[in-house]
Structure 1
Amino acid sequence: MRQIRLDQGPPSRPSGQPRISAVELGDALQHAMALAREGRTGPAETILQRLLEISPENPDALQLLGMIARKTGRNVDAASLFRRSLAAFPAQPHVHNNLGNALVDLGEPGDAVHAYRQALRLAPQYDEARVNLAIALLAAADAAAACAALIPLVARDPRNARAWATLGQARRENGQLPEAILALRTALSLRPDHVPTMHNLGVALRMAGQPEEALPLLNRACQGDPSSAEIAYNLGHCLQDLEQVDSAIRAYERAIVLRPTDRAAHQSLNGLLWRQGRTDHWLASYRTALAQHPGDHGLLYDLADQLLLAGDAKSAAALLAPHSTSASPSLHYQYGRALWSSGAPDAALAQFDAAGDFVPALREGARSRIILDRPEESLPRIEAVLAADRYDQQALALQGIAWRFTADPRETWLNDVEQFVSADLLTPTDGDVSSFNARLDAALTAHHRDHQHPLDQTLRGGTQTSDDLFARPDPLIAEVRAMIEARIRAWLAALPRDANHPFLSRNTGRFAFSGSWSVRLRSTGFHENHIHPEGWISACYYVALPEAVTRDQQGWLKFGESGLRLGQRERIARMIRPEPGLLVLFPSYFYHGTVPFEDAGHRTTIAFDIVPA
């Protein structure tokens, strides 16, 4: 095995090198490594460069130069040097590993995976490379493969804390929360003060609905690494779950101080302020950060988005106008939205078109042209989106509308509300539908903590739970989930097959939840007409209903009427009267909404999206 590290001497030299004695080569490399260990990288690089003048492709000198480049943050140079070293002498597992590390830091996880696999091909018991492989697989969004890489390692070496910690992260990303928690607990028992493991275990516990146990871990992690914006951000989530709103706000603010351009932290902070009715400080963090980073397109985009959601299009347009001449596609799109909502449709269309093939702008350009009664012009833009992703739910919804307005018979094929909408009453194990749903409604009350609806959701006059409802450790939630899963399996088995249909063609009979939440509406509350862009199938399960649903279709579910506000051109294709225990399943691209109701009672539902598995 051939390897060079900063803390060890050089290996033997392969044959075929230029004329330099082994003693001279060894002495030069030893001296360069000693200098590098002392942090004197400049003199070390000088020696190595001189060595390469004599022996241009010396693998040991190239590797050591690569290590120095990585140590000084020059990963592009490091990757190039490691590749040159491997070209000269391929059988160096540690250099393949070092190359993988440089590629991970460069944001190239796919190439890093290949490098780590090469290292393991040469040295199958190279545990460091195996853990690094799993980390690269996680970065490449292949959590299942990361788990598969690590399970044999922890079985062979159960005291490998790094392997257990990485396995915990992989299992969490793979949706295996109980197994993730077990792996992370094992890792922390082996390294009790390891801050990243504390942090990851706290995140996993919180995701599993155990914020009380997560909080002390996240607090310890914050104390151990007070400079970590990510830990402060996740602490804010945990405090929010525990209804410690003031402390959550401070945690999010701390994350933003540490990383002022962190879009997720700004969104979480301002979302919480809005839902809690604390509008005096709402959006202030964006303005403070933009004063420091005036050209940050992500912050500009998000601040404009918040203003648009709040109905302040003129402020959004004023914010973006100074950047319109040098805007990115995303800002052209956002500026177009602001102009559209400000009553300047022609200028808006020009901005959407200026964004080129930016998918949101193509969709918005199509949507705007449908509203302007120019459906023929919308279709090429919709087709461009669907060419990139045939399952784009927003584009499918718009395609159905455009087909209807152009008298295309495929509209009925796409939007068959009778065949593709299922409405069935679910019966609990004890057979008492009324009692079960009354108990479920009481249990869900604890999860509705906010004062008003989220700004970026379609409900009006109510509240919505955060995070994954079905992951919460509540026996009533677990029972309703099991009932729902059984019904979905039966429905999928009964659907017709059509390989060309964008809904039916995805049916493998297997599915996974991609999000679940509860909504509680109060009097005059309703859902605006909308679709679910992240789903394949969406659903609503009715838990509790006001008496008003028996009168004048109040609180009823409607399909077919779009969110485009087309006036006389709109149509309602189907209405469903809710009742406790009713589960309604439908394609995620179907427009749906609810009729407002007036009643002292509330309307509680569980909603979710699923995707093919």
Structure 2
Amino acid sequence: MAQSRQDILLQQVVDLIGRQRPAEAAHILDVVIGPAGQMLAPVRFLRGIVYLMQGDAMSGEKALIRALELQPDFQEAAIELMRLCNATGRFVEAIDHSASAAAVARPAEALLAERARAFQAMGRQEDRVRERERIVAIHSRKPAAYHNLAAALGDAGRAAEAEAAARQALAVGGTAPETWLVLARALQGQSRLDEADEAFAQALRLRPAYVDALRDRAQLAWMRSGDVESALAMVGEAEAGAVSADLAALKAHICEATGDAERGYALLRASGGGDDPRYQPMAARLALHFDRASALNHALRAVVSTQGSAEAHRLLIDCYLANGQVERALPLIETELVRNPMDQGLLASRWTAWHMLGDERAEALYDYDAFVRATKIDVPPGWNDLDAYLADLGAALRTLHRFRAHPLDQSLRWGSQTSADLLRSEDPAIKAFQTAIDGPIRRYIAHLGRGGDVLRSRSRGGYAISGMWSVKLKSGGFHLSHVHPMGWLSSACYIELPASLDADAREGWLKFGEPGIPMAAPIAAARHVRPEPGLLVLFPSYMWHGTEAFAAGGSRMSIAFDIVPA
């Protein structure tokens, strides 16, 4: 069948777009096809693409939206609009715009992948998994489809299923070291540590300077042994074959996370990677521990070297605050909050700035009386009293604490953290914990009520738990002050405590209001909560919180989790 004149013209537009000639494509769309074609979805779609090529994102977005209004299941238009929304952090809009296109029997793989990315960015891991499962159903012989499903399952805490998907990716021909890394993480999530180490090693055999795999393998070695030199030696072996700024930064990070930022800084400077754009942010972070002025210098250079990246701006905010330059920090904080209004780390930085200025809004944001609440958990069905339940829960958790040292990227020091997601545990006592905390959580949310502030405005009455883990601190252990950037509410629930803690020194107590930034003029904690077995403390995720170290023998074991609105 002969093509119509309009089809021929549209094909010419497609060819011109492919040859990077948007002006000629626009002429055909606007003049040759003209107003009569503007009610056709393909015409509006192509016009949107041309607008984007010409740097007019606003007009491009409007044209893509119009194309979807004319044809709601238009796959290509939905894909391009989602890419635009995802790139600008508008993930909810991306999902909404693509709903009709995703509802067809066989959506485009790229459409489902963009939806998965949006769900991932929103922390909706189960929805991300569902999109990846749909891709696998359509492309059952593609290693990449199984790999991406495995990664999604791993991030959702479904380690056994992640392992199965990663192995399937390898079975259908996958050879990527990234798949071996996903497999290794899934095995570690099941506490199969020797197998995990071997999978990390296989990823590194395929790509000897694979920094992500090297980092995770070195971290595993550190957590199992508590020997920082063995972790650094692993990185050193890789450096012998391929010196890179990434490997130098990894060694510096290991030093920082194990308590020796000055050594890390010296290693970074000795690497000669000063021209690498990643050097300045890392140097700023390390120097902040011991030389605030140098840290600020590096942070200012980081903004230039990274072309104003979000990470560089966050570092600059921290360095301004650490150096007491609050008048420079606050405008940056407000600018970043416009882009990410619910970022809990930025809200903590804003509180720090307000507190330094004596602004009364600081007291309202950190209303300890209203927002920090401690209560005993409920006794779940199957146990006669709380002591009996805590004894069984503690015994179950002890079997999961397989490490001697803390993870590299967490706030705890001198203790261990579980790898497995407790939400997926089949142990009766651990499973019952969700029942034990449900009542206290719902009572807390009811107590909060609704309001226009950044905490209450997010409440929808319900909740979902986003990740759950256990921490076991040994003598001398503590948590650095920190926040939970992706949470809404955060928690600490005490399961076991040392027999004798010095109450006068507040050993092991939870503390609030001490910034996790080394300040020139330190801000002391304003509220403490004394731990008790079975006590659950709930508070906003944007509140600076940490713990006081304890010298008593024995260990302090707790469970923590984040809560998001539902």
**TM-score, length basis structure 2:** 0.75
Partner residue of 2:446? 493
Which of 168, 173, 185 does residue 237 from structure 1 map onto?
Answer: 185
| 1:215 aligned onto 2:215 | no
Q: CA deviation at 1:235?
A: 1.6
1:197-276 aligned at under 5 Å gives the runs 197-207=145-155, 209-255=157-203, 264-276=212-224
Partner residue of 1:420? 371
Change (3 A) 1:155 1:367: closer
Change (3 A) 1:268 1:505: same
Q: CA deviation at 1:541?
A: 1.4
Change (3 A) 1:12 1:387: closer
SS in 2 for 1:547: coil
Task: List runs of 5+ in structure 1 lacking aligned partners.
Answer: 1-8, 16-25, 27-57, 70-76, 370-374
1: CA distance between counterparts of 2:496 and 2:475?
A: 13
Partner residue of 1:352? 299
Instruction: Kindly indicate whether the alpha-carbon contact (under 8 Å) linking 1:379 and 1:399 is maintained by their aligned counterparts in 2.
Output: no
Q: CA deviation at 1:240?
A: 1.7
Partner residue of 1:444? 397
1:329-478 aligned at under 5 Å gives the runs 331-341=279-289, 344-356=291-303, 358-369=312-323, 375=324, 377-389=325-337, 393-394=344-345, 397=348, 411-430=362-381, 432-466=385-419, 468-470=421-423, 472=425, 476-478=429-431
Q: In the alignment, residue 575 of structure 1 is paired with which amino acid? A: H
2: CA distance between counterparts of 1:145 and 1:589?
A: 25
SS in 1 for 2:475: strand
Change (3 A) 1:428 1:308: same
2: CA distance between counterparts of 1:132 and 1:487?
A: 44
Q: CA deviation at 1:260?
A: 7.4
Partner residue of 1:579? 532
Change (3 A) 1:200 1:360: closer
Q: CA deviation at 1:234?
A: 1.5
1:187-202 aligned at under 5 Å gives the runs 188=136, 192-202=140-150
2: CA distance between counterparts of 1:545 and 1:106?
A: 63
1: CA distance between counterparts of 2:242 and 2:261?
A: 24
Which of 1, 7, 11 does residue 60 from structure 1 map onto?
Answer: 11
Q: In the alignment, residue 480 of structure 2 is paired with which amino acid? A: E
Instruction: Kindly indicate whether the alpha-carbon contact (under 8 Å) linking 2:191 and 2:419 is maintained by their aligned counterparts in 1.
Output: no
% identity of equivalent residues = 29
SS in 2 for 1:305: helix
Q: CA deviation at 1:610?
A: 3.4
Q: CA deviation at 1:400?
A: 5.1
Instruction: Kindly indicate whether the alpha-carbon contact (under 8 Å) linking 1:531 and 1:590 is maintained by their aligned counterparts in 2.
Output: yes
Change (3 A) 1:152 1:482: farther
Instruction: Kindly indicate whether the alpha-carbon contact (under 8 Å) linking 1:63 and 1:85 is maintained by their aligned counterparts in 2.
Output: no
Change (3 A) 1:487 1:106: farther
Task: List runs of 5+ in structure 2 lacking aligned partners.
Answer: none
Which of 512, 529, 544 does residue 481 from structure 2 map onto?
Answer: 529
Q: CA deviation at 1:199?
A: 3.0
1:141-160 aligned at under 5 Å gives the runs 157=105
CA shift digits 1:265-300 (9 cap, x unpaired): 444333223222374354745884797574x5x666
Partner residue of 2:545? 592
SS in 1 for 2:561: strand
Instruction: Kindly indicate whether the alpha-carbon contact (under 8 Å) linking 1:437 and 1:543 is maintained by their aligned counterparts in 2.
Output: yes
Change (3 A) 1:510 1:393: same
Change (3 A) 1:131 1:414: closer
SS in 2 for 1:276: helix
Q: In the alignment, residue 316 of structure 1 is paired with which amino acid? A: Y
Instruction: Kindly indicate whether the alpha-carbon contact (under 8 Å) linking 1:362 and 1:385 is maintained by their aligned counterparts in 2.
Output: no
1: CA distance between counterparts of 2:155 and 2:234?
A: 29
1:509-524 aligned at under 5 Å gives the runs 509=461, 511-524=463-476
SS in 1 for 2:5: coil
1:23-102 aligned at under 5 Å gives the runs 59-64=10-15, 66=17, 77=20, 86-87=29-30, 88-89=32-33
Change (3 A) 1:187 1:102: farther
1:169-188 aligned at under 5 Å gives the runs 169=116, 173=120, 188=136
Instruction: Kindly indicate whether the alpha-carbon contact (under 8 Å) linking 1:336 and 1:351 is maintained by their aligned counterparts in 2.
Output: yes
Comparing 146-155 with 583-592, greater Cα deviation is found at 146-155
Q: CA deviation at 1:604?
A: 2.0
1:129-140 aligned at under 5 Å gives the runs none
Q: CA deviation at 1:488?
A: 3.2
Which of 483, 488, 496 does residue 544 from structure 1 map onto?
Answer: 496
Q: CA deviation at 1:602?
A: 3.1
Q: CA deviation at 1:97?
A: 6.7
1: CA distance between counterparts of 2:239 and 2:44?
A: 41
Partner residue of 1:18? none
Instruction: Kindly indicate whether the alpha-carbon contact (under 8 Å) linking 2:185 and 2:196 is maintained by their aligned counterparts in 1.
Output: yes
Larger Rg: 1
Partner residue of 2:5? 13
Change (3 A) 1:118 1:476: farther
CA shift digits 1:84-121 (9 cap, x unpaired): 66445457756877899999999999998767655555
2: CA distance between counterparts of 1:538 and 1:348?
A: 30
2: CA distance between counterparts of 1:125 and 1:417?
A: 49
Q: In the alignment, residue 377 of structure 2 is paired with which amino acid? A: L
1: CA distance between counterparts of 2:146 and 2:175?
A: 15
Change (3 A) 1:471 1:117: farther
Partner residue of 1:51? none
Q: CA deviation at 1:59?
A: 4.5
- How many equivalent pairs are there? 544
2: CA distance between counterparts of 1:464 and 1:107?
A: 48
Instruction: Kindly indicate whether the alpha-carbon contact (under 8 Å) linking 1:362 and 1:382 is maintained by their aligned counterparts in 2.
Output: no
1: CA distance between counterparts of 2:47 and 2:210?
A: 29
Partner residue of 1:609? 562
Q: In the alignment, residue 319 of structure 1 is paired with which amino acid? A: L
| 1:280 aligned onto 2:230 | yes
Instruction: Kindly indicate whether the alpha-carbon contact (under 8 Å) linking 2:219 and 2:231 is maintained by their aligned counterparts in 1.
Output: no
Which of 532, 549, 556 does residue 509 from structure 2 map onto?
Answer: 556
Q: In the alignment, residue 143 of structure 2 is paired with which amino acid? A: V
SS in 2 for 1:193: coil
1: CA distance between counterparts of 2:113 and 2:343?
A: 33
Change (3 A) 1:178 1:546: same
- Higher relative CO (Cα under 8 Å, sequence separation at least 6) belongs to 2
Q: CA deviation at 1:221?
A: 0.5
SS in 2 for 1:280: helix
Partner residue of 2:268? 319
2: CA distance between counterparts of 1:170 and 1:610?
A: 21
Instruction: Kindly indicate whether the alpha-carbon contact (under 8 Å) linking 2:510 and 2:546 is maintained by their aligned counterparts in 1.
Output: yes
Instruction: Kindly indicate whether the alpha-carbon contact (under 8 Å) linking 1:497 and 1:505 is maintained by their aligned counterparts in 2.
Output: yes
CA shift digits 1:504-527 (9 cap, x unpaired): 565555555444322122333322
Change (3 A) 1:79 1:252: farther
1: CA distance between counterparts of 2:126 and 2:348?
A: 37
